[in-house]
Amino acid sequence: MKIVRFGPPGAEKPGLLDAAGRVRDLSAHLSDITGAALSPESLARLRAIDPATLPLAPEGARLGTPVANIGKVMCIGRNYREHAAELNNDLPTEPLLFMKANSSINGPYDDVLIPRGSVQMDYEAELAVIIGSRAKYVSEADAFSYVAGYAIIDDVSERAFQRDRGGQMTKGKSGDTFAPIGPWLVTADEIADPQNIRILTQVDGETRQNGTTADMVFPVAELISYLSQFFTLYPGDVIATGTPSGVAGGMKPPGWVKPGQVVRITIDGLGEQRSRFVPDA
């Protein structure tokens, strides 16, 4: 099942995709796609609905993030071997954690804003894990039972803010619109193996990233278990699991994203998102 939210920013409605890929309106069955809608019981109720009985969303309706009121976006740094190598970084011995501010969350086709003073805009295509059940002190063996589904997330980064302005991840990772998520949430039952998924990024049609989740240093189940040892993961929380090689900062010379360029990210089974990078007002 593919779950979406459609409509203007701040006024999105819940929906799902039918077999033909059309958006169907779920408003008669729930008010929005929040963490509560992602419980196993709630997802089972949604699966029981015949999409053909639901009204079609307006043609061309904007898609927002597939989950509303996300509690936190946890990110994992240097979690792909080839990515660490392209940046001349040692592999971490434990997952390297940071967070993106909730104000960075953005729709999958909305513009990404280039902040004032930015000189090093970068992209990081990542598999996002979306939590469906409260998770605390969970084991790796049980980790997948807490997953509602998966989506695409772009961990947009401003490298000069990140590295040259005091060496703080938050400043370079949390700009407004720096976390496009979607276009939809694909429920976990449709993803046979999250460690065997191809990730592709193109900038104005030029392929930049072309890797697979098999290159992860710490796989998805380990990440969920690890995070849950330090704090509770709540339904609707998002884990950005790291990015393959091919980021702009790893190119020689660097291929920073310029105003007007379009970043297109495709992940097997999860669709694609497209973001035009534009100067902030």
What per-residue confidence (pLDDT) applies to 209? 98
- Judge whether 128 and 268 are in contact, CB under 8 Å: no
User: What are the E-state strand segments in the chain?
Assistant: 2-6, 13-17, 23-25, 73-77, 96-100, 105-106, 112-114, 121-122, 125-131, 147-154, 157-158, 179-180, 185-187, 198-203, 206-212, 238-240, 262-267, 271-279
d(CA 157, CA 274): 16
> Do residues 237 and 74 touch, judged by C-beta distance below 8 A?
yes
pLDDT per 10-residue tile (average), the chain, 281 residues: 98 97 97 98 97 97 98 97 86 96 98 98 98 98 98 98 86 97 98 98 98 98 98 98 97 97 98 98 87
Distance between CA atoms of 240 and 145, rounded to whole angstroms? 18
Question: What pLDDT does residue 72 have?
Answer: 98
Specify the pLDDT at position 86.
87
The C-alpha atoms of residue 3 and residue 28 are separated, in whole angstroms, by: 15
Q: Where are the alpha helices (DSSP H) in the chain?
A: 40-47, 81-86, 159-163, 169-173, 220-228
What residues contact 223, with CB distance under 8 A and at least 6 apart?
Answer: 76, 79, 95, 129, 239, 241
Q: Pick from 202, 184, 281, 198: which is nearest to 246 by CA?
A: 202
**3-state SS class at 45:** helix
Domain boundaries, the chain: 2-53, 73-279
Whether domain 73-279 has CATH 3.40.50.150: the reply is no
State the number of CA atoms in the 13 A half-sphere of 190 facing the CB: 17
Q: What three-state secondary structure class fits 81?
A: helix
Strand partners, 193: none
